[in-house]
Amino acid sequence: MNCFCKNPGHHNDSACLVCARAAEGPEETAVNHFHHGIKDLATIFFYMLVAIIMHAIIQEYVLDKINRKKHFSKTKHSKFNESGQLSAFYLFSFGWGTSILLSENFLSNPVSLWEGYPHTLMPFQMKFYFICQLGYWLHALPELYFQKTKKEDIPRQLVYIFLYLVHIAGAYILNLNRLCLVLLVLHYFVELLFHVSRLVYFSNENRQMGFTIWAVLFVLGRLLTLSLSVLTVGFGLATAENQGFDLTAGNFNILFVRITVLAAICLTQAFMMWKFINFQLRRWREHAQAQTLKKKQVPSKSKSKKDKANGVNGVNSHGADSPRARKEKSS
């Protein structure tokens, strides 16, 4: 991490501290800001190891105990573990990200998402948030081996891990951290609702109201994501005064980068909607099949009762039709 400070006496290779003085009456408060650098890789690796340890703690002391009590099948066992881990992460990330948005007034002042770009300076909490995000999604790669994930589930998990890493790292490097923070908080809230609903469903399969609420919020979340992205990248940065490409200053506000960013976001949202539609169609198909089986079981039961009364295959067992009666008649 490189230091970016207006005072030459504050330069220090071991930190990227920026001393900004905000005068509040007679006293002055020091506000520390940071920006990204090559040394972030070591910090991300460290917090990746922390995430692996936290993952193991949650698995052993929470999820495994619940699994032993519920006696889930192998399929439900793996899905329960996945939803349990992601619910804890999404809840933590959503709460932390919301507190940063409120403290930095990004929600009350949406213009700040693109105004003053490039946003090379970040408060400590925001920088630490992105480092933890990258560390967590990197830890998900070795967890595929530690959790003994099924071969058929590995491609699906690799896809969403890759998407998270590309979008978060891309926004972090391109100094689009403010927009990324807002979109992450929005996305994590919707995903939190889904995984909590799935945990509730595993405890009681009749409780599916959460999936309905999630379906509505999922579509709204995609629309809000696209709207904020187009507003910030397509209009805000396109009309900003600071245009051009300057690697040292962290300015990537050129047409090619803007189009690439918007294309990546739009393609990802389209991919998520496609997966969502397939998921809903599969649920409706399974529900229709379950209803059909129930309707078939009702007449079969009534038919079996009738068989007991009238004989095998519905043939009446009258005395004149019995073999014994015919034999007596012939004699």
Do residues 262 and 251 touch, judged by C-beta distance below 8 A? no
Across 196-318, the runs of DSSP E, i.e. the strands, are 244-246, 251-253
pLDDT interval class at 320 (50, 70, 90): very low
In DSSP notation, 165-182 reads: HHHHHHHHHTT-HHHHHH
Residue 198 has a CB neighbour count (10 Å cut-off) of 20
Is residue 41 scored above 50 in pLDDT? Answer: yes
Top-confidence residue, 286 or 162:
162
Q: What is the pLDDT of residue 298?
A: 64
Residue recorded with tokens 């490097």: 173
pLDDT in tens, 88-110: 999 999 999 999 999 999 988 88
Contacts of 289 (CB under 8 A, 6+ apart): none
Tokens of 20: 């900004």
* Cα 105 from Cα 255, distance rounded (Å): 28
pLDDT interval class at 1 (50, 70, 90): very low
User: Which of the listed ranges 31-45, 66-80, 255-269 does the model predict with the highest average pLDDT?
Assistant: 255-269
Ranges of each domain in the chain = 33-292
Q: What is the CA radius of gyration of the chain?
A: 30
